Structure 1
Amino acid sequence: MLTGPVADNLVESVASACRSGLDAEELRAAILPRLRKAVPIDALWWASADPATLLFTRSYREELPEDSGPYFVENEFLVQDVNKWTDLAGDPAGVRTLMQATDGQPTRSDRYRDIFAPLGLHDELRAVLRVRDSCWGYICLHREGPQVFSPGEARIVQRLAPHLAEGLRLGLLRQACDLEDATDGPGLVILAADGAVAGMNDAASQWLEELGGHADGSDLPIEIKALAVRLRHLPAAEPVMPRLRVHTRSGRWAVLHAFWVTSQAEKTITVIIQEAAPAEIAPLIMAAYGLTDRERTISALVCQGMSTRQIAGRLHLTADTVQDHLKSVFDRTGVHSRGQLVAAILQRDYLPHLIAGDPLSPSGAFDSPGRLAGAASGRSGRVGRPGG
């Protein structure tokens, strides 16, 4: 098992690969050899996930039967078993072995008895690929008996998990920008080492104008320059790439993301500009209303459909205290009910898409029909063919 500076160097090399905007296949090819150096394995399963539903979408497996997919879907969603993805996604650690989940008695797991034991597999190490509280994928590592995964190996995977999540997220953004006929989709701007624009897609021109710059990139908006500076000064081991929420001249909200891309020719900065999801906008709208931190938290829980009693239990407050906070929120926002509060925060950007049945974009937000269709098709809430 790798420890100390050697482990740190491994994490940094994985972080660098995850910042490169690789697609899922390229990311796996870059990461798995490094992962195996730190955590020897005999089989694995890796999948992207829809952050809005936690359902796995595109999956990849090694040394697991191709026809095991339906079994794993049934095991995850229809029967009782240990170490399930939905449970692990809600766990702060986000990493757990089968031995941990069964107190060293793996035969307590149907999955172990039905699939793993006949294959000669013993322990499994599951990790949720999560960053900024959003789950972008899962990875499950398998080892033949009698070896089990050590706590140190679990810690290494836990360190790598947020980098892998960011890698999956950036790959989806790049994929969306590369789609044909996506002139109204995410904008992609490539900056050379001197800060000059080295390339951009068609959609970028419109976004640059909305941000107050020139459509040809000759005069970049200050937000893009600031984001590039932030990226240049980011610590090497930082898993989260810098981003910025901006209110554009047309009145819509945008989110800007920046990350490094290294090619044989040079190292460049890629900035992606996309329309903000409601979850991105809501905190800013609540801040504009002048809500306190506690009032913002309660408002967010109201938007999730929680009752006064549920909110009180979550925040360890009395129901009367929650009601007092809600009254203050209503006064500040000029609404008179929970329904009106949710509408004031989310209705304009969420409900029309929900009613229309629009697909989810790579950011987890709703998108209009036909736009980014290729990227959304694998993330429409359907269960993929998982394994492990």
Structure 2
Amino acid sequence: MQRQSAERVRREIIRLCHAGLDSRTLRLELIKQLRKVIPIDVFFFTTADPATLLFTGAVVDEILERATPQFLQNEFLQDDVNKFSWLARSATPIGGLIQATRSELEQSPRYRDILAPLALGDELRAALITGGTCWGFMCLHRDRSSPHFTTAEAAFLGRLTPHMAEGLRTALLLKSTARSHVPDEPGLLLLAEDLSVVAITPAAERWLVEVAEVDWPRKQALPSAVSAVVARLQAIEQGMDAEGTLMPRVRLRTVSGHWLVLHASRLSGPSMPGPIAVIFEVARPVEIAPLIAQAYDLSRREGEIMQSVLRGWSTAEIANAFHISSDTVQDHLKAIFEKVGVRSRRELVGQLFAQQYQPRILSSRDLGADGWFT
């Protein structure tokens, strides 16, 4: 890489990450800039739920999109190098395939079974982390006839990953809620072992449109968030989830800006395992609050107090729960308001969850004791 060109690209990438772009536009622009200094033939770039590290929405080249089921199987159900979840926990959250295999690419099942048949060679993977939290993953590919990624290219990308993570984190908060009708009730999708659709409710069909990266009816593959949550379930069932702490559950924002929770489970039958059930549910504020706290870079105590506010607790109740003074609670609230950009508790709830509350308020539905609508 030429030093002057690389420095211009570095500055432009940092600017883009703080330019207030939506997530998809940001990712496409970042790839466009990276290609000016790092030859990239094919790419995969996804956001992730920090709690489970599951994909929430991918931007991917068509050649890789067709191979998505194989990549998910490799990621969750096979032993291989440079797994995304491993990179997210590594002291060095970036890795090249040529280095990981010690220049013997055939040692990687991912290379043998997926990349080589696609005429692809080396790959460079990165977990996008800032403040100890992972907000997405990137994978860059080279054609088999192209040179491998260099140490300098990996180092250049590594220096930029915290900025990219900040850009993805900020973009999560920028989505506005469209006025389009979305289902209020849970949706159910039943899948066979080969991920073919066994049955689906009308609400799930509408939610699939909301979580798809592109026009759902024209896609043969399931959206990446659905595929990832199912793959995590299969990994747990087959004992491939070594830590056993990452559950088949993911939180995400839909195309129209609504918060949604997806989780997968196995239905039991009288003589054999039943189909896989994927449930789509509107996320409650208390479910999304930890994610929002991370996105706004709130401290642990600030996040706890924000969740208490969303539960409707008074200052005295918060102070009693955390064994702090009322003045300290007010100090924390002031810091929260400043980071979120609001001036009151009312504005805080409205800023974070207007897309969840407003439709129900307009329909005159009452709040229950848990802070949600009856």
- Relative contact order, higher structure (CA 8 A, sep 6+): 1
TM-score, normalised to structure 1, is: 0.47
